[in-house]
Structure 1
């Protein structure tokens, strides 16, 4: 494998680390048609981005994303930033002919998403939206089971995405709690993942009803570099308004007639990052819990009556999606591996000129559902899509 694909990443914190690890690991475990080269890491603070680049093996650094995009030697722009920064960067990257690997949620609005999609299509660049949970082997295997008709006609979808990191009222007013940066709270951050999985596994959504709630409306103002640090040095006595919701509950009807529910919250005490879904059909059921990400629960009405019950499928065999490239059967994988799988599929799409999903068209559909949810919560009415 001699061909190289030069990557420029913008952003160097949580997602910057996760993406960097994926670019590094993908060619070590998978046979892919081009070798990703960690060419340039970009961030506003030179010292911080230099430390990041040295640690992860990025060859060069840059503090102006526009200069990075203008470089003729960069093939891919990796956007590992908060959602309020995606729109402008993605438009510039697409117009420069760069392929785009973009962190979710796609944008601040469906209007932005529509323009991002159009510009990418007009410039014929690959555009990937990193809803990485699609590429958890257990989720990918659930998709195959659904396509094979294992549970029959789908009646119900039930999904929860639960975290607890802001239960403490002294947790600072970070960017995730500000509408001007985050657009919304868990409805945007968490339900974007949940809606993507629903689209992937069940189908498109036709109606949305939603309610939202705020439990803590003011929080201590953190200094710019606190990143959620609760130390006295990071927090002052002044408080600021929380301008996004703390929890969102949606009920939906799918175009295929199934009904579904979504719970997204940052106030589920004891839940650090629990994404779970249940799918109930005419022939059986599937249940997944991210806290047990190598397992899939399956119930089948085809089993003898006296033997029926939920069985655990340990999704660690070479027959399961992606798994054969990792470890021997029974050796589990973790959160970071779904990012590697995304990189593998992205590189193949770029080199083989094939589609990849989710892309910005999927992101647009997600934005439309999330916006409908907020509109429903505000108006108290069901919203038709």
Structure 2
């Protein structure tokens, strides 16, 4: 397989590194300008720098396209790549609204191509272990789920990034950017589908300071004397969720939580046991008991369920983390392509999963605006 990378920022580089660890070839890379394409190709040791997106589509050596650009471009790029006969792995969210994402699901189906959305965080080995425990009945009947995904990289008024603007990133920011990761993870772990939501959101800074040249993700605060810009997306959201079957959940997400760099957490409570996991300590799964001592399972393939062990590339005591989730996500994607049976159930996050997350986002936004429960 040979892959064309679209985007030269944080995600583009992350995709390149993960693909190389799998032995998947990089056909070329495209930046926002030809000069950025050339610079990225030189820095990353990639042989081809694309001139523009048409250059990508005409590259017969590129079997697949990885889309790692601002959200507003996802729909058009994904659709064009599928029509050109290329498999697609797209960063989330899949599109700007559910009408676009629904169309992409159908295009992928019509073209009989693999089409995935990079909900990579479900691939932490201990998340898959929790999934196996739930499926095996170890937790018993599920009662409720709690969790959060919180960061601080937009804490200051002078912190700035393109994601802040609805016309580029979509009408929801923190929910779409990180909240959908949590919802995808918990739906994957429990096997349950969210059927209704009740949300309350807030924008801490109605205006922010935009530095000259814009800003980047996860950097130091910008110049406080920058240009004032109006912000039309949320910094924080608290969400109540109902899963089919009656399980209740609560989730809060924030990008203005001082000191929390990338805190992704959940607690799942059942009639027999509970499990809890923290993405900043990804190699530990807490298992709670009523009638005997609690314990912590340290990531160790020899002690884990087969499906979870398969996502752990290193033995017990050898930590695995964030970059490894991309590797495992892409492994599932390219193993599926290699098998060649597109009628088989996909083992990776599909465009249908991406479409579902956008439907959830739209229901959450409607709930916030109308201050009521909304059925998805």
TM class by shorter chain equals over 0.9
Q: What is the alpha-carbon distance in structure 2 between the residues aligned to residue 300 and residue 342 of structure 1?
A: 32
In structure 1, the residue matched to 2:55 is 67
Q: CA deviation at 1:231?
A: 7.6
Q: Which residue of 2 aligns with 1:311?
A: 295
Matches of 1:231 and 1:170, distance apart in 2: 6
Task: Give secondary structure in 1 for the equivalent of 2:49.
Answer: strand
2:199 maps to 1:210: yes
Hey, what's the Cα distance between the residues in 1 that align with 2:323 and 2:226? 38
Determine which of 270, 276, 279 is the counterpart of 1:287. Answer: 276
Match of 2:154 in 1: 166
- The SS at the match of 1:155 is strand
Q: Out of 238, 243, 248, which is 1:254 matched to? A: 243
Counterpart secondary structure, 2:78: helix
C-alpha displacement of 1:236: 4.9
Matched, 1:363 2:359: no
After the TM superposition, which of the residue ranges 235-244 and 61-70 deviates more from structure 2? 235-244
Classify the secondary structure of the residue corresponding to 1:333: coil
By how many angstroms is 1:181 displaced? 0.9
Secondary structure of 1:292's counterpart equals coil
Q: Deviations over 1:271-300 (max 9, x none)?
A: 000100110011110101001011111123
Could you say which residue in structure 2 is the equivalent of 1:176? 163
TM-score normalised by length of structure 2: 0.93
Q: Is the 8 A contact 2:6 2:31 kept in 1?
A: yes
Deviations 1:44-94 (A, max 9, x none): 223332222223232201131122012222100111112211100110111
Instruction: Give the Cα–Cα distance (whole angstroms) in 2 for the partners of residues 147 and 230 of structure 1.
Output: 43
SS in 2 for 1:287: strand
The equivalent position to 2:367 in structure 1, one of 359, 376, 383, is 376
Moved more, 86-95 or 193-202: 193-202
1:222 maps onto 2:206 in alignment:
no
CA 1:230–1:288 in 2, change beyond 3 Å: closer, same or farther?
closer
Root-mean-square deviation (CA), in Å?
1.8
SS in 2 for 1:297: strand
Unaligned runs of 5+ in 1: 28-35
Inter-partner Cα distance in structure 2 for 1:200 and 1:44: 34
Match of 1:33 in 2: none
Are positions 1:275 and 2:259 aligned together? no
How far, CA to CA, are the matches of 2:277 and 2:216 in structure 1? Answer: 31
